[in-house]
Structure 1
Amino acid sequence: MKIKVALGQFNIQFAQPAANRARVRELVATAAAGNADVVVLPEMWNTGYALDALPQLADEDGRTTLALLQELARQYHIGIVGGSVAVKTGDHFVNRTLVVDPLGNLLGQYDKVHLFGLMAEDRYLVAGDQENYFRLAGVPSASFICYDLRFPEWIRTVARHGADVLYFPAEWPAVRIPQWKLLLQVRAVENQCFVVAVNRVGDDPDNHFNGHSLAIDPLGRVLVDAGEHDGVTFAELDLAQLATVRGPIPVFADRRPELYR
């Protein structure tokens, strides 16, 4: 079995949700025209890191974002890992991923578990505490967000359910891109999964982002690197490769969780 994924890397307009929604429409249309099964978006694409403006900009309960993703999924018959967006829920804000299938059904949502103090998330957002495990394009999958990448114990906790693809939306600044690439490759190898990670390009008032969205196979080999351009990059994931990797080295069966503290 093979699936085609589209990595929707773009220049998020700071504090301009309407402009970013318009760009997402274009990216999903391009992904569908390329016959992708799944399109993946970057982190906080509705607002960027305009955290002090969240009372005015955050999507109330994610309703606007979900309606848009459902509309596009149905229109183009494509699965969408909706990056993440700033969401107001009750009296607080979260960094939330929404995942929909080609019929527009909500498959799962995920509030970022590890908040990144260097970009002030811990001052403005509330951390999540739930996994996001789902089947998309017929493939067991899980999603995380950006800084979660640095916590292998959390990713292994979720991946042990049998995920074949791990999705990572991000806003990962250019200064740390070497670590981005290395960590993503390691997560693919140690969990014997495909990894699809979508970063952004462009600038906000405090950071420069240079993309390098990646698709990586279970041996850690980079299938595609989107470089620094704004647009859609395609990758094909051959799920048959998983059996050849996992069979000889059954790391999940060989775990000793009673020893892990």
Structure 2
Amino acid sequence: MTDTLSIALISETFYDEDGRVRLHERLIEAKARGAQVAVLPELGCNRWCPATREAIDSDAESPGGPRSTMQQEVASDVGIWLVGGSLIREDDGIRRNTALVIDAEGRLRSTYSKIHIPDEPGFWEADHYQADNEVPRPLDIAGIPMGIQICSDINRPAGTHILAAQGAEVILGPRSTELATYEKWKPVFQANALTGSCYVLSVNRPVPEDGVLIGGPSIAVAPNGKILLETTDAIGIVEINREEVRQARKDYPGYLAIPSELYARAWAGIAARPAHGPIGQANDTAMK
């Protein structure tokens, strides 16, 4: 099992006609620069459909659909792990914003679906897909336990903490956020890394789409909260070192107790909020 790994954050989308060719080129470039894993933004092979409230059937696909297959084929062609994504329509018709973990042979190894769903102008996500209800679990990505938190999931730090407590050493955060709100996101990435004693890496969709002012840097934060990478380049390369995680979990605050039964009792007494809802009602305004 490796102690170091290079990860490429690819801030580009690939839903146009030439998407397959461009993705192939970016993965080749990432691998040439030493990356063993590449991460795409949130729904990186889909248009940003939540720009409007209109849900179009063709934006989603069944498991193993053309967008998913394309990502698997390109990852296999290049020989690199890929954390991509697609809007997946399940057998019961429910649509979910799903990250796809694809190995260097093109096999779909695991998936993760978004839990926290915004519902506001430019991010009408509740009209397009539903929140998942599965407990986040670490995934084996290139031999290292990692967790995935898609965009707004990062803003409920319990997800990162649960993943880290289960052994995840890296949290990958594909996102679609506005440039104007980046300074609100940045301290959350740092706090999650520091309090989870893990790496936090996030890659954004790069440019405005359909009137939504999407944009902002890719970022990588070390387990001690130090920013390792902050770039608007199409490809950012980060090297992670598992020894940094081990050391962070020996140091403060990493060694502090995790009284899970106490937390569980507390959460059990708190009424659940809806997965989403209009701004101004019971839910918080989504930090987009």
Question: Same fold by TM-score, threshold 0.5 exceeded?
Answer: yes
CA distance in 2, matches of 1:78, 1:18: 22
Give the one of 96, 113, 120 matched to 1:94: 96
Match of 1:184 in 2: 189
**Structure 2 equivalent of residue 64 of structure 1:** 66
Q: Mind listing any 5+ residue stretches in structure 1 that lack a counterpart?
A: none
Q: CA deviation at 1:132?
A: 4.5
Q: Is the 8 A contact 2:248 2:254 kept in 1?
A: no
**8 A Cα contact 1:6 1:40, kept in partner:** yes
Distance 2:71 2:43 in 1: 14
Structure 1, residues 62-121: CA drift from partner, whole Å, max 9, x if none? Answer: 422332222222222211111x32222232321110001112222210111111112111
- Of 147-156 and 183-192, more deviation after overlay is shown by 147-156
Match of 1:54 among 53, 56, 73: 56
Contact 2:197 2:223 in 1 (8 A): yes
Residue of structure 2 equivalent to 1:259: 262
Structure 1 residue 223, shift from structure 2 partner:
0.9
Match of 1:172 in 2: 177
* Aligned equivalents of 1:43, 1:71: Cα separation in 2: 19
Query: Shift in Å at residue 250 of structure 1?
Result: 6.6
Would you say 1:237 and 2:218 are equivalent positions? no
- Deviations along 1:24-67, one digit per CA (max 9) or x if unpaired, are 22221211121211100000222232242531232332422332
Q: In angstroms, what is the RMSD of aligned CA positions?
A: 2.0
Deviation of residue 175 (structure 1)? 1.6
Give aligned pairs, total: 255
Higher strand share: 1
Identity %: 26
Name whichever of 120-129 and 140-149 sits farther off. Answer: 120-129
Number of the residue aligned with 1:24: 23
In 1, the alpha carbon distance for the partners of 2:163 and 2:56 equals 29
Relative to structure 1, the CA distance from residue 193 to residue 102 in structure 2 (aligned partners, 3 Å threshold; closer, same or farther) is: same
* Corresponding residue number in structure 2 for 1:108: 110
> Any conservation in 2 of the 1:54–1:86 contact (CA below 8 Å)?
no
Aligned partner (choices 134, 138, 144) of residue 139 of structure 2:
134
Structure 2 letter corresponding to 1:121: E
Q: TM-score, normalised by structure 2?
A: 0.82
Flag structure 2 segments of 5+ consecutive residues without an equivalent: 267-288
Relative distance call for 1:250 and 1:109 in structure 2 (3 A) is same
- Contact 2:170–2:199 (CA under 8 A) maintained in structure 1: yes
Shift of 1:161: 0.9
Q: 2:249 aligns with which of 233, 246, 251?
A: 246
Report the AA paired with residue 200 of structure 2: V
In the alignment, what sits opposite 2:276? none
The answer as to 2:144 corresponding to 1:143 is no
